[in-house]
Structure formats: structure tokens, C-alpha cells
Amino acid sequence: MNDDKLIDSSPDDEKLLHTMKMRIVKSYRWQEDIIKPFSKELDISEDALEEILIKRLDMSSLEALHPRYESSRERCLKERIDADLHLCWLCDVMNILSPQEADEIKTKISREILREDKTYKKAIEEGWKDLLEYLMR
């Protein structure tokens, strides 16, 4: 068998690969968890985001993206909470919170958002109040 035939892909193969990738990104969970929110965040159409993902990711990366997204949600949310509550200042710069205390605060707020469906805005407002009460003790 000629090795070039293993490397070269026919237009039919490319079309099949595109179809397979489209089935992934068009799935309900992908649409709800990734496509709709990120297209809004990037201010582009859902179709444009789908094409970016299909063009830039191979099949294995595309198949692994949703599970990686799910596992990173809490970590990314904690980073946002850390920034919005200025915990890095309170912990690293001022040393009035320990890293463990800061992590407890981030974990509490992130769980309220992810598990109790509390809005981010409401959770941060309550987090500020809790943080100030804690610091005043």
C-alpha cells in the first residue's frame, strides 16, 4: 500500500469529518453549555463560533472539550470570584486572610452559584457582606 494514500485525504473524507464535528457541536449540551454562552461573550454568531471550533480543533480535542469545560467551570468561577472580591489583595498583599480562608470563601460562593443556581451578582453581593463580617470579627 502506498504511504501517500494514508496521509492524503479525499474531499469525501474532509466532508465526512466536517459532518462528524458538526454533530458534536450541534448537540444540545454543547449548544447550551458552550456555543450559546461563548458566542455571546465573544460577540459573534453561534455559526461563526461553531466554524472556529471545527476549523481549529481536531476530533479528539473537540470530543474532549466539553468534559474539560465541565471540569474547569468551578476553577474559572473561583478565579473570577477571587478577582471580584480582591481576595488576592486581602490574602497575598495585606495578609489579613490566609490562603485557606480565601479558598473557603471562593468555594462557598462558587457552590452557591453552581449547585444552588444563585445568580453571580447576588452571590458576589452576599459574599462581600460575609467577607466584611468575617474581617470585622
Over the stretch 98-137, which tens digit does the pLDDT of each residue have? 999 999 999 999 999 999 989 999 999 999 999 999 899 8
- Compute the distance between CA of residue 88 and CA of residue 102 in angstroms, rounded to an integer: 8
* 131 three-state secondary structure: helix
Length in residues, the chain = 137
CATH 1.10.3070.10 maps onto the chain at 73-137
pTM comes to: 0.67
Match domain 73-137 to its CATH number in 3.30.70.270, 1.10.10.350, 3.20.20.140, 1.10.3070.10. 1.10.3070.10
What single-letter amino acid sits at 39? S
* 113 three-state secondary structure: helix
